[in-house]
Amino acid sequence: MALYAFNRREDDDIALAEKELLFSIDKTYDLYHYILLLILEVADIASEKIDQALQKRMPTPEDLNPKRRFIDNQVIAQIRKNKAFNDYVSSKKLSWVNYPHIPRILYNKMISWEIYEEYMLSEVHSYSADKKFIVNLLTKLFAESEDLESNLEEQSIYWNDDTEYVIVMIEKTLKKFKSDNSENAPLMPLYKNHEDEDFVKILFRKAILHTKQCSELIENNTTNWEVERIALMDILVMQLAITEIIEFPEIPVKVTLNEYIEIAKYYCTPKSSTFVNGILDNIVKEIREKGIFKKSGKGLIGEINDEDAG
């Protein structure tokens, strides 16, 4: 999307485009914490409902003996005390205070949700059961909420396509949680390491700088098609794939191709992935024959030279 935005710019300012790309990545990390915070907000509403029921003038037996399993969920307790989470939320001033209807909508959907009812009535009380429910809450209830998706899109243009991805990242984080985690349990970092951050910058810059080379390769390998007639997003996906193959010798070609075919399925037209796959296969054959790229280390996986083939 950052490459698409750059192609729509009139100033060709790569430095500014890169700054916007890195800002969008930071915003995605905000969303990661913001959705974790949403779990706590829903739990707070559940706790509030129990307190209100206890304050009735004539509470029912159910009011006096509320089911506390959800608000006492062990994973929720771990998120609440997690130092990295709290420090980030505080430093970024993340809050649902201006959108209180969203956690309430999700709470109301949750309490009539079959998975919630099963969880609350289950006789199995364990850390793994608590974790399983929170993962379900994220990947099913939150992920399928049109109200949440719409609200996040309204809050930030950078969150238009990020919710699904971020929920997967949170799921991976929570699956690594253990019952004995302290307040210092690790959350997913913004970047795995410095190389990861460098990868983003190099790929973006090189894709822009190699636009002409990529366009020529695409044109050479699109029979019965003029480059001008190919959808821009298809071209950009192929441009990034070609750049990654050439510029990152440690990444196997097959890994790159699989990644960008999946990206084409998400960002391009329904038929794009098949089209992109076919063109990229032809381009790889051409640049391999011309020796335009050379893989090393893990990047050699799947590479067969003439001697090996013989």
Q: Which domain holds residue 248?
A: 194-309
Check residue 226 and give its pLDDT. 62
Residues 148 and 215 in one domain: no
Residues 161 and 219 in one domain: no
On whether the CB atoms of residues 188 and 172 are closer than 8 A, the answer is: yes
For residue 12, being part of any structural domain is answered with no
For residue 116, being part of any structural domain is answered with yes
Residue 2 to residue 7: CA distance in whole angstroms: 9
Residues 43 and 171 in one domain: yes
Residues 200 and 272 in one domain: yes
In the chain, the number of structural domains is 2
pLDDT in tens, 224-251: 666 667 889 999 999 999 999 999 999 9
Which class for 244: exposed (0-12), middle (13-18), buried (19 or more C-beta within 10 A)?
buried
Residues 238 and 300 in one domain: yes
Comparing C-alpha atoms, which of 29, 30, 23 is closest to residue 1? 23
On whether the CB atoms of residues 230 and 236 are closer than 8 A, the answer is: no
Residues 250 and 295 in one domain: yes
In this prediction, what percent of the chain has a pLDDT beyond 90?
73
Q: Residue 278: enclosing H or E segment and its boundaries?
A: helix 272-289
pLDDT in tens, 244-284: 999 999 999 999 999 999 999 888 888 888 899 999 999 99
For residue 302, being part of any structural domain is answered with yes
On whether the CB atoms of residues 187 and 82 are closer than 8 A, the answer is: yes
Check residue 273 and give its pLDDT. 87
Residues 252 and 300 in one domain: yes
DSSP 159: G
Residues 90 and 162 in one domain: yes
DSSP 210: T
C-alpha count within 13 angstroms, C-beta hemisphere, residue 26: 8
Phi, psi of 69 (to 5 degrees): -60, -40
For residue 39, being part of any structural domain is answered with yes
CB atoms inside a 10 Å sphere around CB 114 = 7
For residue 265, being part of any structural domain is answered with yes
Phi, psi of 252 (to 5 degrees): -60, 145
Check residue 306 and give its pLDDT. 37
CATH number, domain containing residue 292:
1.10.940.10
State which residues of the chain have pLDDT below 50.
306-310
